[in-house]
Amino acid sequence: EADIYQTPRYLVIGTGKKITLECSQTMGHDKMYWYQQDPGMELHLIHYSYGVNSTEKGDLSSESTVSRIRTEHFPLTLESARPSHTSQYLCASSEYRGTGGDEQYFGPGTRLTVT
Amino acid sequence: QKEVEQNSGPLSVPEGAIASLNCTYSDRGSQSFFWYRQYSGKSPELIMSIYSNGDKEDGRFTAQLNKASQYVSLLIRDSQPSDSATYLCAAGYPMGSSNTGKLIFGQGTTLQVKP
């Protein structure tokens, strides 16, 4: 059973505000990921981390930033929210299995609306 | 060419029938493959992983992998209306790749099971 948590689950915020989306996992997984997904559309990887103090940009350019100071915590920050940031943000984590691709477990997501 | 391709559907099957979902991938180096189920408005849930050629069964689900044809499929037996969801196929990057651990997701196939 995957234990990965995201807060808030829903957020409506005005343009220009700074926001931080929280993601925590209790499985001790080294790897964590942030995806962005619009309704009915594909998953896009925006950030990932292979461990503490490791962060990389994903395949989709994003104005957000991430940090990984603790294994279990991988927050995503938008310094100045814009309506174009309206989307669902999904956090995932995985454990290294040595097969090239790992089983990723997703949190419940944060649905962000910027007005 | 997308690296992981799925027919977006919708695939419509009657209740009790076998649903067959298909996926092709372009990188022969991929060694790990995953099927996720995503209900509308929810996050993806891992339902099957497969690493070797052949079939892998788990309850009503069977994953099939054919590396020579670069083809992965998911069969759902005795389909139920509760199986109605979008099914995402994912492939892992090859071992030794700088992207190890990351997954390449297809766009998903929408399954509708009609009572």
pLDDT in tens, A40-73: 899 999 999 999 999 999 988 889 999 999 999 9
For an interface test with A, which of B39, B87, B102 has the most A Cβ atoms less than 10 Å from its Cβ? Answer: B102
Tell me if B51 and A108 make a contact (CB, 8 A cut-off).
no
- Taking CB atoms within 8 Å and a gap of at least 24, the contacts of A104-107 are A104/A33, A104/B34, A104/B46, A104/B90, A104/B103, A105/A2, A105/A4, A105/A25, A105/A27, A105/A29, A105/B46, A106/A2, A106/A4, A106/B43, A106/B44, A106/B45, A107/A4, A107/A5, A107/A6, A107/A23, A107/A25, A107/B43
B96: pLDDT strictly greater than 80: no
Tell me if B88 and A43 make a contact (CB, 8 A cut-off).
yes
A112: part of which helix (H) or strand (E)?
A: strand A110-114
Asked if B45 and B72 touch (Cβ cutoff 8 Å), the reply is no
Residues sharing a CB contact under 8 Å with residue B2, sequence separation 6 or more, in sequence order:
B26, B106, B107
Give the distance from residue B50's alpha carbon to the nearest chain A alpha carbon, in angstroms: 10
Asked if B31 and A99 touch (Cβ cutoff 8 Å), the reply is yes
Of A45, A100, A103, the CB nearest to B46: A103
A-chain CB neighbours of B41 within 8 Å are 39
Q: Tell me, what's the pLDDT at B113?
A: 98
* Band (B1; pLDDT cuts 50, 70, 90): low
Give the distance from residue B27's alpha carbon to the nearest chain A alpha carbon, in angstroms: 12
Tell me if B101 and A31 make a contact (CB, 8 A cut-off).
yes
Sites in chain A below the pLDDT cut of 50 = none
Give the distance from residue A101's alpha carbon to the nearest chain B alpha carbon, in angstroms: 4
Whole-angstrom Cα distance, residue A75 to residue A52? Answer: 12
Looking at residue B90, its amino acid is A
pLDDT in tens, B23-57: 999 988 888 999 999 999 999 999 999 999 999 99
Asked if B75 and B62 touch (Cβ cutoff 8 Å), the reply is yes
Q: Which of B88, B62, B83 is nearest to B7 (CA)?
A: B88
Residues sharing a CB contact under 8 Å with residue B30, sequence separation 6 or more, in sequence order:
A100, A101, B91, B92, B93, B94, B104
Tell me if B101 and A102 make a contact (CB, 8 A cut-off).
yes
Whole-angstrom Cα distance, residue B104 to residue B110? Answer: 18
Tell me if A108 and B43 make a contact (CB, 8 A cut-off).
yes
